[in-house]
Amino acid sequence: MGSKNFRGGALSQKKTPTIPIRPTLPTDSVRKPALPPPEVIDVFVGDILLGLSTKSDKERLPVANVVSSPDCNSNKQLHLIINGVAEEPTVSAVKVCLDWMVLNSGVNGKSSGLVPLAPVDIEEHSTTTIIDIYSAAFCLDMRPVTITIQPLRAVIMARLTNNMPAVELLTYVHARVPDFDSVHTRAITAYFEWFDGTPYGRLTNAENKKICDYVETDAGFNQIFYEVQKSRRQKAYFKSKAAKAAKRAAAERKLQKGWEGLTTTPATEPSADNMSEVTATAAPAATTASSVQSSPAEEKGNGKGVGGKHVPDA
């Protein structure tokens, strides 16, 4: 199946979720009301306003973001809604975060004394469970992030990278994690990496078709896919350009080294100025040659000899 080109539309405004207060959930049962219409703000708090002690606290709260419950005697209702995220964290995930707060309430000073939010046996929990708790911690803006959010994020991103993308998991991430979060980006980037092929395997055509069909039905998700794809192509272009420049520089260095190896001292041509030096150099050679010449008697061949060798007075 060929590569998919995702079409981007108008960019939606990304707003950072705001949590005005951190109320404590009651221990009694929680009834989940009907979800508000899309235009309603990020955070809904039940009748928490009735528990505020000062007027200044009420003024700091964005009133448009608060919907009071119909009856102050009814059970408290808390809604954690992030702008652009369709699903709220589950009650069990919020309870895990609140239990962590209670457990560490007596710890003062450095964060090293805090109990991590991620359990020791986190690898035994499903990815969807970890994403659910991560979404709750994100909504509650739990601090410090090195103890709460970052360990969960590291586990989620590792699983998204090492496991083949599935449309069910992508849907779960998109419904519970804001699109400006790195977990959301990692899930989409992993899709492109598995499509191109990774050390862990390659995306199957059947799963690729499911993902593409789902993305086509969600304009917002399609826009995010388009942005990630565009960013990856830009990075690939600049990486290829840098590799070509490095290869060209290496070839130039090799050629320069070859030219340096061919460089030698040129021979000196005889001239009128150095003719006397050439003559003086040749004179000893002539003297040596004259010292080995035969005597006149040997040249005339007079006298007798043996084997052509002259014997005096013979």
Whole-Å CA distances, 143 to 25, 101, 112, 150, 188: 18, 10, 13, 10, 27
Give a yes or no: residue 77 inside a domain.
yes
Give a yes or no: residue 230 inside a domain.
no
pLDDT for the residue 300: 52
Whole-Å CA distances, 262 to 51, 126, 183, 258: 90, 67, 58, 7
pLDDT for the residue 42: 39
Give a yes or no: residue 29 inside a domain.
yes
pLDDT for the residue 56: 40
pLDDT for the residue 191: 95
Q: Which value, to the nearest 10 degrees, does the dihedral of the CA atoms of residues 177, 182, 186, 192 take?
A: 100
Instruction: State the Rg of the chain over Cα.
Output: 44
Give a yes or no: residue 243 inside a domain.
no
Distance CA(12)–CA(39), nearest Å, equals 14
Domain that holds residue 37: 17-81
pLDDT for the residue 81: 82
Answer for the pair 141, 89: CB distance below 8 angstroms, yes or no: no
pLDDT for the residue 84: 78
Per-residue pLDDT of 190-199, as tens digits, reads 999 999 998 8
pLDDT for the residue 35: 52
Answer for the pair 208, 1: CB distance below 8 angstroms, yes or no: yes
Number of domains composing the chain: 1
Residues lower than pLDDT 70 in the chain: 1-4, 6-75, 109-110, 263-314
Distance CA(191)–CA(202), nearest Å, equals 10
Residue 117, class by beta-carbon neighbours within 10 Å (0-12 exposed, 13-18 middle, 19+ buried)? buried
Displacement of CA 217 from its chain's centroid (Å) = 29
